[in-house]
Amino acid sequence: MINDPNDSRKYVISGIAIVIVLVYIIRLFYLQIIDQSTQGQADNNALVKQTIYPSRGLIYDRNGELLVFNQPIYEVTLTMREMGANWDTTQFCRCMHISREEFDLRIADIKNRRKNRGYSRWTPQVFLSQLKKEDIAMLQEELFLFPGVQIQKRTLRDYTYKAAAHVLGSVGEVNQNDIDRDHYYARGDYSGRDGLERTYEQQLRGEKGVEVLMRDSRGRMQGSYQDGALDRNAVAGTDLYTTLDIQLQLLAEELLTGKIGSVVAIEPQTGEILALASSPAWNPKVLVGKERSKNYNTLLNDPLKPLMNRATQAMYPPGSTFKTIQALVCLQQKAITPNTLYPCSGPQSSPIKCTHHHGSPVALGEAIEQSCNPYFWCAFRDLLQKDGYGDENEAFRHRYELWREAVMAFGLGQRFTDTDLSEQSAGSVPSTKLFDRIYGKTGWKAITIRSLSIGQGEILVTPLQLANQAAAIANEGYFITPHLNKNDSMSTHRHELAIDTKHFAEVKEGMHRVMKYGTGRWYPIDSIECAGKTGTAQNPHGKDHAIFIGFAPVENPQIAVAVVVENAGFGATWACPVGSLLFEQYLTGSIKRTGLRKKMRESILNESVQNW
């Protein structure tokens, strides 16, 4: 048997067996020690990680009045693998008050990986959300009949007042782009979609917690895993204190009833926004809960565009309110002095007529008081022609650019980039490039752009910019960027204007005379001296817009406002009384001129306006 041919074969077979055993050992070592994915799969079979959602931060006004809070809601989730063949779909639909067709459609959406990229049979999937306690009462009683079903508590926004919808914003369900951009979110989560809810989303949303639950080999829940050793508590969002005065906000929205327009009120010394109202508006509650999508589409399709925040996004010619800036720039650039006189022939004036009959010639103070168009045209002309026109119009164009830079320093023609107001329009202060393109470098002169002298033509501003302009004049040469977060120190966001303080005194006195003897004289407030400027902005698409800017008291101003009422006509008739009532409310805490308040509230200028 020494030369038995089978003897070598047993070594070959033994070697193969050893190799196979080694391969299995190495593979097991890799799977269990090196590659943790299989351990994760095993954990997924045994453990369920249930998200604990934090309460969203509350929102208050400047005086601690609660504006936005949370109310409990519930969502029902399904884990497909646990449902089983004997799962009673009919009874489940009865408990949820839905049809079988609705159930099948919802299940199809959950399993559609294009709509639900995070779908897994092993993890809970949101079946229905934003449910009230009564919606889930029957299901809670019979929950034991439906393996794989969980009821999870969430919160939904609620509001103390039917106001400030544009400012506060809303909360809605995240989309796939949100999930891809920020891994904090998962399907069915909510985030701020606009307004302060969006701007301060990371502060308000808090941090999610997690509860790890264990299930047996049949998928049945067995309670907390390791007595909660791996659990993590949710952290509630941080509360937000705004600069709003809710009583002033409510008044602003009340006075805009039946009108298209906006109101902005600012505390001049701090840049804090006291009120920011846009009309038409809506009750913020209509964008909460299951009806959010339907109501949002209704607002979106409204021809009056209520979703547009007119206070920060609408653009208008500033009209005669611009004469305050025009006066300051012309004084600073030595085109005029307070005593410079210009003639006025009233409606017979040319090339720009005056809309008022008053004495002639006029100096600056009376020109502001009487809103004399020829005065500001002459001052603008003399500023632009101060150095002549020069070769290729260069001297004139240079003076125009200096004028434009001085105007834009007030915050016009640009968005406020260092603010928490996200939805803004820039407005427009036309450049030399624009006029060069229209007329050619040598084709335009002062008379070509004379409309700019009285706030018409190509210049456009937002109500926010107008209120900031009033604040800058009230402060006699600076403004703090307008903002809404009371806890955010904005003192470093101070913008200085290159205009001597003495010139502001002249313009402030002119604005005081407007409220004392001019177009604002019909709306005095007991013991409070106010400064203001009315405007009637030409509108090529319809009736003129009524505009007012102002501040009060004249000495040590506490509030600056801008009011725009679209297609209303004269600023003195419709915008000025609104501003006057805002002064009274903020400075005295109440309204004594109840007749004026009632008149403005009940004056319906546009019957199509309805606040949702």
Q: Sign of the C-alpha dihedral, residues 22, 26, 32, 38?
A: negative
Q: What is the CATH number of the domain that holds 542?
A: 3.40.710.10
Which pLDDT score, from 0 to 100, does residue 383 have?
A: 96
Asked if the structure places residue 138 within a domain, the reply is yes
Q: 355: pLDDT confidence band, cut at 50, 70 and 90?
A: confident
Q: Name the pLDDT band for 217 (thresholds 50, 70, 90).
A: low
Collapsed DSSP state (helix, strand, coil) of residue 211: strand
- Residue 35 above 60 pLDDT? no
Helix (H, G, I), strand (E, B) or coil at 209: strand
Between 40-54, 108-122, 354-368, 434-448, the lowest mean confidence (pLDDT) is in 40-54
Task: Report the alpha-carbon angle 496-502-506, nearest 5.
Answer: 110
The secondary structure of the chain in percent helix, strand, coil, rounded to multiples of 5, reads 40, 20, 40
Task: Give me the mean pLDDT over the 304-328 stretch.
Answer: 96
Residue 39 has pLDDT above 50, yes or no: no
Q: pLDDT band at residue 11, thresholds of 50, 70 and 90?
A: low
Same domain, 337 and 194: no
Give the separation between CA 273 and CA 264, rounded to whole angstroms.
7
CATH number, domain containing residue 235? 3.90.1310.10
Instruction: Indicate whether 417 and 557 sit together in one domain.
Output: yes
Are both 353 and 376 inside the same structural domain?
yes
Look at residue 10 in the predicted model and tell me its pLDDT: 63
CA 30 to each of CA 19, 25, 33, 36, 37: distance values in angstroms, whole numbers, following the listed order: 16, 9, 5, 9, 11
Asked whether residue 551 falls in the same domain as residue 490, the answer is yes
Residue 391 above 60 pLDDT?
A: yes
Give yes or no: residues 97 and 210 share one domain. yes
Q: Taking 50 as the threshold, does the pLDDT of residue 1 lie above it?
A: no
Average pLDDT, the chain: 88
Give me the pLDDT at residue 141, please. 86
- Whether 264 and 349 map to the same domain: the answer is yes
User: What is the predicted pLDDT for the residue at 5?
Assistant: 57
57 class by beta-carbon count within 10 Å (0-12 exposed, 13-18 middle, 19+ buried): buried
Please write the tens of the pLDDT for every residue from 250-289.
999 999 999 999 999 999 999 999 999 999 999 999 998 7
- Confidence at residue 38, expressed as pLDDT on a 0 to 100 scale: 46
Number of separate domains in the chain: 2
Q: What is the DSSP letter of 144?
A: G
Q: What angle do CA 161, 167, 171 make, to 5 degrees?
A: 80
Q: Which pLDDT value is given to residue 228? A: 65
* Average pLDDT over every residue of 188-203: 92
Question: Does 15 fall in a domain?
Answer: no
Are 424 and 313 within 8 A, CB to CB? yes
pLDDT-derived band at 122, boundaries 50, 70, 90:
confident
Residue bearing the bigger pLDDT, 28 or 591: 591
CA distance 577 to 572: 7
Q: Does the pLDDT of residue 400 top 90, yes or no?
A: yes
Going by C-alpha positions, the residue among 397, 422, 424 that lies closest to residue 411 is 424
Tell me whether strands 531-537 and 545-552 are parallel, antiparallel or unpaired: antiparallel
The Cα-based distances of 492 to 199, 269, 471, 489, 501 in angstroms read 20, 12, 17, 8, 21
pLDDT above 90: residue 463:
yes
Residue 13 belongs to some domain of the structure: no
Interatomic CA distance for residues 163 and 149, integer angstroms: 39
**Rounded alpha-carbon distances, angstroms, from residue 33 to 19, 213, 411:** 20, 24, 64
Domain that holds residue 275: 246-294+310-602
Q: Quick check: 379 pLDDT over 90?
A: yes
Same domain? 111 vs 257: no
- Judge whether 499 and 329 are in contact, CB under 8 Å: yes
Last residue of a domain, one of 222, 241, 260: 241
Query: How far is 402 from 312, CA to CA, in rounded Å?
Result: 26
Q: How far is CA 132 from each of CA 54, 83, 129, rounded to the nearest angstrom?
A: 18, 24, 9
Give the residue-averaged pLDDT of 424-446: 94
Q: Quick one: pLDDT band at residue 31, thresholds 50, 70, 90?
A: low
Joined together, the tokens standing for residue 364 give 């600056």
The verdict on 557 and 414 lying in the same domain is: yes
What CA–CA distances, in Å, run from 101 to 89, 97, 488? 11, 12, 51
Write out pLDDT tens, residues 95-104.
888 899 999 9
In a domain, 456, yes or no: yes
Residue 409 has φ and ψ, to the nearest 5°, of: -65, -20
Structure tokens at 530: 């106010």
Residues 332-353 pLDDT 10s:
999 999 999 999 998 898 899 9
**pLDDT, mean of residues 34-60:** 69
The length of the chain, given as a count of residues: 612
What is the DSSP track for 263-301?
EEEEETTTTEEEEEEEES---GGGGSGGGHHHHHHHHHH
Residues 173-193 have pLDDT tens digits of 888 888 889 989 887 888 999
Region 154-168 average pLDDT: 93
pLDDT value at 404 more than 80: yes
In terms of pLDDT, which residue wins out, 568 or 503?
A: 503
Is residue 213 a part of any domain in this protein? yes
- Asked, for residue 11, whether it belongs to a domain, the answer is no
Same-domain status, 180 and 257: no
Give the pLDDT band (50/70/90) at residue 81: confident
Query: Distance of alpha carbon 440 from its chain centroid, rounded?
Result: 40
Beta bridge partners of 483: 272
Shared-domain flag, residues 266 and 378: yes
pLDDT tens, position by position, 289-304: 778 888 889 999 999 9
Band (pLDDT 50/70/90 cuts) for residue 222 is low
Q: What DSSP letter does each residue of 404-447 carry, written as one string?
A: HHHHHTTTTTS--SSSS--S----B---HHHHHHHH-TTS--GG
Q: DSSP for 168-197, please give it.
A: H--EEE--HHHHHH-TT--TT-EEE-SHHH
Domain match, 76 and 101 both: yes
> What pLDDT score does 211 carry?
80
How much is the pTM? 0.85
Mean pLDDT along residues 129-147: 85
Alpha-carbon Rg for the chain, nearest whole angstrom, is: 34
Q: What DSSP state is assigned to residue 399?
A: H
Whether 90 maps to a domain, the answer reads yes
Nearest CA to 222 out of 48, 76, 87, 78 is that of 48
The pLDDT tens digits of the residues spanning 478-506 come to 999 999 999 877 777 899 999 999 999 99
Q: Is residue 38 part of a domain?
A: no
Q: What HEC string does 515-528 produce?
A: HHCCCCCCCCECCE
The percentage of residues in the chain with a pLDDT greater than 90, rounded to a whole number, is: 60
Query: Residue 219: its pLDDT value, please?
Result: 53
Nearest Cα neighbor of 245 from 7, 585, 528 is 585
Do 285 and 138 fall within a single domain?
Answer: no
Most confident of 108-122, 215-229, 508-522: 508-522
Largest separation between any pair of C-alpha atoms in the chain: 141
- Over residues 421-434, mean pLDDT: 94
Query: pLDDT for 588-612, tens place per residue?
Result: 999 999 999 999 999 988 877 766 6
